[in-house]
Chain A
Amino acid sequence: MFGEFDYQVVIDSIPFLWKGMQLTFLLTFLAIIGGLFLGTLLALSRLSHIKVLSFLAGSYVNFFRSMPLILVIFWFYFLVPMIVGRPVGGFYSVLVAFTLFEAAYYCEIMRAGIQSVKVGQLQAGQALGLTYSQNMKNIVLPQAFRNMLPILLTQAVILFQDTSLVYVVGLHDFLVNAEIVATRENRLIEMFLTVAVVYFVLCLSFSLSIRKLQRRFSV
């Protein structure tokens, strides 16, 4: 069975797979940045005293959290070109989908992070005469980020795995490129096992370093 395992196919396709992996990395990176930014704004709205704002942010989170990611991808693949009014290419549609979807999850993490900061810190900031935005930017959010760093990074690993779902709209990411080689060379076993091993090694080593970081951070 493994005697016929064709390593050559895998080796020959490395440049092509690497091209796909670059798209996977780029999408993951941009979606983390966008999701974290929007998620933090949502978390601040959710904790806001303005009722309408916290209601809207709460509905946003519940809405996206009860939808399958594939459906969200289909939604934006269909919506983005229509709103923009011209074809924009799959990458931008998918990026919007991932950013908006991840923001809901990052919002919940950041909310917990902000709530983990002691009230005294906020009050001390107010006593020093800081405005709300100064207080958040300089006092509360840096501590919230630090407290939540391990969970934010774990969510990043989940997002990295989830980007493989761009398969449903045919973007050429790592998995899709591997699948193209697999069908062209009729080497499904080799290619899919390679993909699984690469993802496993990347995700496991990243998770292990997060755990190490967590141990160093925990008091």
Chain B
Amino acid sequence: MNYNWNWGILQTEPYFDWIISGLGWTIAVAISAWLIAFSLGSVIGILRTINNPIARAIGSSYVEIFRNVPLLVQMFIWYFVFPELLPESAGNWVKRGIPMPEFWTAVVCLGTYTASRVAEQVRAGINAISKGQHHAAMAMGLTPTQVYRYILLPVGYRTIIPPLTSEFLGIFKNSSLALTIGVLELTAQTRQIEEYTFQGFEAFTTATVLYITVTFLVMAIMRIVEGKLAIPGMISLGAK
């Protein structure tokens, strides 16, 4: 195995800048997509728990569609097919009108995909609460909205913090798929460095170390959050 080590290459321009900007894009895609995933996923998850067959059907169709098509195929559909299905002016706006169409396409794609996974967690969180709480709240005269707002959601969300953390880490890793439509995020940048310099070891090691660092940081932060939000009397890692 003949390999010329050159760790210094990472500190030379423009490669250092590439890595930093790649990391920046990865984080930007992940966080923006998470906002969609969390809000849309909560709505879909709640739809699947309410006592209305149509709402349940909408919720479960959404989950089945987004979970049974590979994420990469969804990315291509959003990027190549979706603008064509819109009326012409709207389609052109999506393709050229908005600044950074690739970035927003990746955000929407990852957001809507992860929403289907978040929805399953939210549903599980709500269903895990004993029926007695729901009944007690209704007996107190709370409206269905109030039952969710004050009883089910605060408890439900707190029990699903660990799976939500791994969904967030999932979005962060999946943001690498944005490279297929031309977003120069971390993986794309290191691949580009490899192609320009043939220093694959150095480039990919950098990406690996950065991904692992962010993963550990997020996990450490979420463990603290989990501890702070733990429901007293329930078994959970964070509880004291």
Contacts and interface: CB of A to CB of B under 8 A. Distances in A.
A66 B211 contact: yes
B212 interface: yes
Contact of B84 (A69, A164, A189, A195): A189
Contacts, number: 98
A63 interface: yes
A70 B187 contact: yes
B176 interface: yes
State the main secondary structure of chain A at its contact with B: helix
Given A63-B212, A83-B1, A192 B80 contact: yes
Contacts of A195: 73, 76
A66 B71 contact: no
27 contacts: A66-B173, A66-B215, A67-B208, A68-B174, A68-B187, A69-B173, A69-B176, A70-B176, A70-B179, A71-B211, A74-B187, A78-B200, A82-B3, A83-B1, A168-B179, A175-B72, A188-B84, A189-B80, A192-B80, A196-B77, A199-B68, A199-B69, A199-B73, A200-B68, A203-B68, A204-B64, A204-B68
Interface of A: 1, 63, 66-71, 74-75, 78-79, 82-83, 85, 161-162, 164-165, 167-168, 175, 179, 182, 188-189, 192-193, 195-196, 199-200, 203-204, 207
Interface of B: 1, 3, 64-65, 67-74, 76-77, 80-81, 84-85, 169, 173-177, 179-180, 187, 190-191, 194, 200, 204, 207-208, 211-212, 215-216
Report the 6 A-B pairs with minimum CB-CB distance, sorted nearest first: A66-B215, A161-B70, A68-B176, A203-B68, A68-B173, A78-B200
